[in-house]
Amino acid sequence: MTIFTPIAIVGQSCILPGALCVQTLWERVLAAEDLLSSCPEGRWRANPAAVMGRADWNNRAGYVRGFDQIFDAEGFKMPAAEILALDPLVHWVLHTGREALGQTTRPASARVGAVLGNLSLPSEGLAHFAESVWLDTQRPNPLDRFMSGLPAHLLARALDLDAGAFALDAACASSLYAIKLAIDRLHDHTADIMLAGAVNRADQLFLHIGFGALQALSPTGQSRPFHRNADGLVPSEGAACIALKRLDDAEQAGDHILGVIRAVGLSNDGRSQGLLVPSSKGQVRAVEAAYQMSGIDPGTVSLIECHATGTALGDGKELESLERVFGQTAGVPIGSLKSNIGHTITVAGLAGLLKVLGAMEAGTRPPTLHVEEPLEALQNSPLRLLTAAEPWDVAHRIAAVSAFGFGGNNSHLIVEQWTPRSKPLTRAPAVASPTDDTIAIVGIGVVAGPCHGREAFVHALRTQTLPADRSFEAHIPLKGLRFPPKDLEASLGQQLLILEAAHEALAGHDLPRKRTSVLIGMGCDPDIVRHGLAARQQDGTHQLSAAQVIGSLPNIVANRLNAQFDLAGPSYVISAEQLSGIVALEQAVRALQMGEIDAALVGAVDLSTSDAHQAAARAVLPSEHHQPGDAAVVLVLKRTKDARLSGDTIFALLQHQSDAPPTAAQDFTTIFGHAHAASGLLRFTAAALHPQSPVPGTLRLTIEALGCATRSIDLQPNPQPFVAPNTARIYLEDDGLNRTVIVAATADELAQKRQRAAQFIAERKAPGEGVYFGHGSLDGEVASLFTGAAAAYHNMGRTLVDAFPELLEAVARRFAYLPEATRWTYSPEPAERPTPLEKLFGSSVLCQAHAEFTHGVLGLQPHAAIGFSSGETNALFAMGAWPRMDALYTEFCASNAFTEALGGHFDVLKRAWKEHDITQPRWESWRTVVPLAELLEALESEPLVHLTLIHAPGDYAIGGESQAIARIITRLGPDRTRHLDYDIAVHCPELGHYAKTWRTLHTRPTRSVPNIRFYSHATGTHYTPTPQSTADALLAQALHTVDFPRLIENAYSDGIRIFIEHGPQTTLTHWIHRILGDRPHTAVSLDSSTDSTLRPLANAIAQLIAAGVPLDWQAYNDRIAPHTSAPDPAILTFATHTTPPEIRNQVQIMEPAPWLPPI
């Protein structure tokens, strides 16, 4: 258990209407000044009266004036010229951040970060840029397009904030949410100083027409919170920032402490009467959470700064909520800064806090304006509206600030007075320590370009192809839909795609209502600007509907999910450019680990195919991000122990920071394009669903974003079985006497092969691939064969382990170095030439996986194990005689056997060939297809070349000194030889100089394996493995020629009739057919280097069925069977790129100049 740490406010700043600093704000609030003003000339770039459709319209609003005269772009960690070229929104953020941070001590070792509440509606800079694209005029700074997350990143860069920064939007509650998340960083000791800020410099024209469409705009231009005749809110703008430290740190540093934050309670309304209709129940949960968290009695609060915006419904609901919490008190003073400056939206809560801090320092509670006729609800209420300034004479000042945002976002902050050498009135109660449990991803929904759903997404990743249908649509189930389809038709594609993805992610889940959060990464959609431009051009004739406005609000991207699925935990959207979804993921993981919530929906969405975004991307993003894409992804997160108790499917685990090596980025843009704000989480999701390597283990993803921001995150994928569409299945027709086994992928193929089978029965016409016959069973035993290292190839067995991921999981349990051993095998960009060690252990791993399949899935029970060359060690591991591979791997790596002794420097050959005056030996291995007598005759004249392997009659391998090899190749003819690309001096007498080490390397703890005969090339027959006998056998076969035909003949004499090749390629199977000829036998291979599908495996199983081998072949079909759940017939389809309002290009296009002849 840990104790909640009080947080000190050690710096403050603001840019607000009529107040360019905190001191001015306090003075003018205390003086009861109304700071609203008429629209500055040219600010709307249109006639406000015409836009609003009223000739007499000249209403006031909250406008910041005079900032340019006080802003100094020098002194940041960015060039002044670069700063001055940016949107004024960025200037406000940098100025307030610097002012707040400059008021506190900042030790050199202090880690500093920031959280910024930012209204992600188009800023004036974004509006200018988008309009320049559509009207083909001179382009302003393309960075202004990225006004959602980039300002926070630039703040971190400009002030050298090494703990990072991001932005969020929880509508009117944004700034208090930002404070809460900044406090989390201090509580977690991942930062020592945090800036919590907020900004709103959205296009005022759009704010006015938007609030007007919602019927929330005051038609009279009066901001009158709690007035019985209040007729709506008045839009305002500004920025504010506070600097925070842990209280103990601030006291020790001697900082000027402005106040102490004791708690911030958050909630969401969930499903209520509407996205813009506040819920008293939801607000009360946030308020009560704050007092439960702080241990403070609401009766000790002596000032409440209310959210009160001047709407009758909102103000009334807020009073109702406060009365439920403060009902046992009397005369609690309340007020609202919005009576002075209007509604600053994202900045509202923080601006209210600055007012409270001023009052706390002055000992005076300031008045609220324009409440000559208060709401009737204030009569006989425990709340008392302050209409005049009054002394704040209490022993210890404790205040609260509320901010309630549309979309149901609720927040309530408690702040108390700090006095030197004193502590707060009460310490907070103990809170849960962070759990060490990992976090599980238990649901995933994806829309990426034309891929709708996980299966389509993974298939596109694996095949690098997209569905033929490339339409821009969202598919949303009608059943249970909580919004009129007409409203969704008016919504931005962001809200539609995230809703579709959430439906898939939540399928089958019943999440706890009050303890599930929704956190979505996103950025402002530049197409919103079209409404403002149309309004400017059409002189008030362009009318927005309420549904269009709600469908454009940034926080509704998350809060629509709250309402649809009735999830009432704290919820908001996050903007951090490419990192938006990753930061959302981090916030959710932290809340789950601290026990603040029990589940989370984490997502990200972006429609980057808009022309304005493309223009900006081409100007400022790396070239690999120029191809645009649309995408949405939603993950469902739980604590792992909760997920397992619920029996949830776990797609991946989020790990604590580990020593996992960085994972190379998958190239998505060539498939899906770059969906900017969704790109980071989309990459993360791809790694969870389709890791580049199928080997179990932890991956580290590092993602970079615009503005020099970077995040790393560790995950452990738990891949679900993946089977490509139209994968071959097995069909058995057995009449009790005869069996016909067919391998087919489609109904047409099955029909054709049934016809071929009938032709074979009637005419004895060869049926070809995929049709097999049998009756009874082949009288004989079964042997598992294991290939050697030379057969290894890149990506071997990938389709098998994708379909049966449990195979490598089983191997991983007995081989800790599986990721390292298979790095080349499954690397997306493999080395042109793998090392012998990579081939050795790569082939060994596939042998083990095949054994897990034949023994564990099919239930085969072999009688013998036969390895070819290094396949003998693979057999020992696969059959359990050698229980673990770890020691052999590490000792082989440390021995440098293949890089110095037997390969690379060839130290063994230097000693063995010293008498031949060869000081720089080079060994080569070649395959020859010649009569044995001819080969032996050629070898007689070359003592440094040896017959190393006898594969089959007429098929051999030789190895030796490179120049001598060249002479033999010339003699035999190059058309009958091939280089083996496995140049290791083995199966030759020269290895005798390394015999002691080789024997030591192969002396292993050995278990008895009942009922299995192990065969060795050393003796040509079987033996009983012990540490001594295996070491002797492996040394002997390394010193002499490997005679595979002799071994197979002896095994056949012992009764083996069924040979099942485990490992890469089909070489052993072909050799066995040549060795045994027409004698009764069945030899099959589980792999093929020329067919990466599961068809070779299906053919092998089918041949075993035909031979009467007992096995559970249906286990294969059960995994291959396609998903057959019927699609929901009631799916609504919405266009995600709607027809924009008409834009008239006002640029005069001149006739082309007449052609003139050259002078």
Cβ-based burial of 437 (10 A; exposed 0-12, middle 13-18, buried ≥19): middle
Per-residue H/E/C for 974-1035: HHHEEECCCCCCCCCHHHHHHHHHHHHHCCCCCCCCCCCEEEECCCCEEECCCHHHHHHHHH
Output the pLDDT for position 274: 87
Q: How many CB atoms lie within 10 A of CB 439?
A: 26
pLDDT at site 58? 86
CA separation for the pair 1094, 1115 (Å, rounded): 14
Q: Kindly state the tokens that stand for 948.
A: 């190393």
How much is the pLDDT for 433? 54
- Assess whether 838 and 932 both reside in one domain: no
Average pLDDT, integer, range 215-223: 94
CATH number of the domain at 788, please: 3.40.366.10
**If you average pLDDT over residues 72-100, what whole number do you get?**
97
My answer on whether 209 and 326 are in the same domain is yes
Q: Label residue 313 by pLDDT band (50, 70, 90).
A: very high
1061, 1080, 1101 — which closes off a domain? 1101
Judge whether 1135 and 472 are in contact, CB under 8 Å: yes
| 731 within domain boundaries | no
Mean of per-residue pLDDT scores for the chain: 93
Please tell me whether residues 291 and 370 are part of one structural domain. Answer: yes
The candidate with the shortest Cα–Cα distance to 360, out of 391, 322, 384, is 391
CA distance 1102 to 1100: 5
pLDDT above 90 covers a percentage of the chain that reads: 86
Q: How far is C-alpha 470 from the chain's CA centre? A: 24
pLDDT, position 431: 45
482 pLDDT exceeds 90? yes
Measured distance CA(346)–CA(351) in Å, rounded:
10
The CA-atom distances, in angstroms, between 625 and each of 615, 670, 704 are 12, 10, 12
User: Can you list the alpha helix ranges (DSSP code H) found in 304-343?
Assistant: 312-326, 338-341
Q: Are 427 and 444 in a shared domain?
A: no
Q: Kindly compute the dihedral angle of the four CA atoms of residues 575, 576, 579, 580, in this order, to the nearest 10 degrees.
A: -10
Strands lying side by side in the sheet with 977-979: 977-979, 923-928, 955-961, 945-952, 1042-1043
Closest CA to 438 of 276, 287, 656, 738: 656
Token code pair at residue 565? 């699925």
Domain presence at residue 391? yes
pLDDT digits (tens, 9 = 90+) for 925-948: 999 999 999 999 999 999 999 999
**Of 589, 605, 585, residue with least CA distance to 597:** 589
Q: Are residues 896 and 931 in the same domain?
A: no
Domain boundary among 1081, 1101, 1121: 1101
Q: Are both 709 and 837 inside the same structural domain?
A: no
Average pLDDT over residues 638-646: 96
- Cβ atoms of residues 822 and 891 within 8 Å: no
What integer is the mean pLDDT of 17-22? 98
Question: Do 931 and 897 lie in a common domain?
Answer: no
Residues constituting the chain: 1159
Whether residue 414 is found in the same domain as residue 444: no
Model confidence at 428: pLDDT above 90: no
For residues 202 and 209, give the distance between their C-alpha atoms in angstroms, rounded to a whole number.
12
Res. 1158: pLDDT tops 70: no
**Non-local CB neighbours of 1034 within 8 Å, separated by 6+ positions:** 872, 873, 998, 999, 1002, 1016, 1018
Per-residue pLDDT at 662 exceeds 80: no
Instruction: Look at strands 1131-1135 and 1082-1085 and give their pairing.
Output: unpaired
CB-based burial label for 737 (10 Å; 0-12, 13-18, 19+): exposed
Q: What is the pLDDT of residue 897?
A: 93
Q: What is the CATH number of the domain that holds 959?
A: 3.30.70.250
Q: Which of 271, 285, 241 is nearest to 13 (CA)?
A: 241
Is residue 970 situated within a structural domain?
Answer: yes
What pLDDT is stored for residue 663 in this prediction?
A: 66
Residues 156 and 244 in one domain: yes
- Is 213:321 a contact under the CB 8 Å cutoff? no
CATH number of the domain that 540 lies in?
3.40.47.10
First to last CA, the chain: 90
Model confidence pLDDT, tens digit, residues 707-759: 989 999 999 999 889 998 899 999 999 887 889 999 999 999 999 999 999 99
Q: What is the mean pLDDT of residues 254-260?
A: 97
Residue with tokens 């945002």: 405
Tokens of 527: 């197409």
The predicted-structure confidence for 531-555, as pLDDT tens digits, reads as follows 999 998 887 677 899 999 999 999 9
Please state the domain count of the chain: 4
Q: Which two tokens stand for residue 387?
A: 């209409």
Q: What is the mean pLDDT of residues 86-105?
A: 98
pLDDT higher than 60, residue 316: yes
Q: Is the per-residue pLDDT at 124 higher than 70? A: yes
What range does the domain containing 360 cover? 2-431
The answer as to whether 179 is a domain residue is yes
* Rounded mean pLDDT, 554-568: 97
pLDDT at 212 over 60: yes
- Is residue 1117 a part of any domain in this protein? no
Contact indicator for 799, 1094 with CB cutoff of 8 Å:
yes
- Domain's final residue, options 961, 982, 1003: 982
Determine the average pLDDT of the residues in 1104-1128: 84
Concatenating the DSSP letter of every residue in 811-877 gives HHTT-TTHHHHTTTTT-SS--SS--HHHHHHHHHHHHHHHHIIIIIIS----SEEEE-TTHHHHHHH
Q: Tell me what the mean pLDDT of segment 450-471 comes to.
A: 87
Q: Are residues 530 and 673 in the same domain?
A: yes
Tell me the pLDDT band of 83, cut-offs 50, 70 and 90.
very high
Bridge-based pairing of strands 630-639 and 599-607 is: antiparallel
> What is the C-alpha separation between 1082 and 1080, in angstroms, rounded?
7
Higher pLDDT, residue 764 or 1112: 1112
Residue 510 belongs to a domain: yes
Residue 540 resides in a domain = yes
Identify whether residues 377 and 264 lie together within a single domain.
Answer: yes
Model confidence over 1029-1074: pLDDT tens digits? Answer: 999 999 999 999 999 999 999 999 999 999 999 999 999 999 999 9
Same domain? 598 vs 632: yes
**Residue 656 falls inside a structural domain:** yes
Which residues have C-beta within 8 Å of that of residue 362, sequence separation ≥ 6? 26, 30, 392
Identify how many contiguous H helices and E strands the chain contains and give both numbers.
40, 40
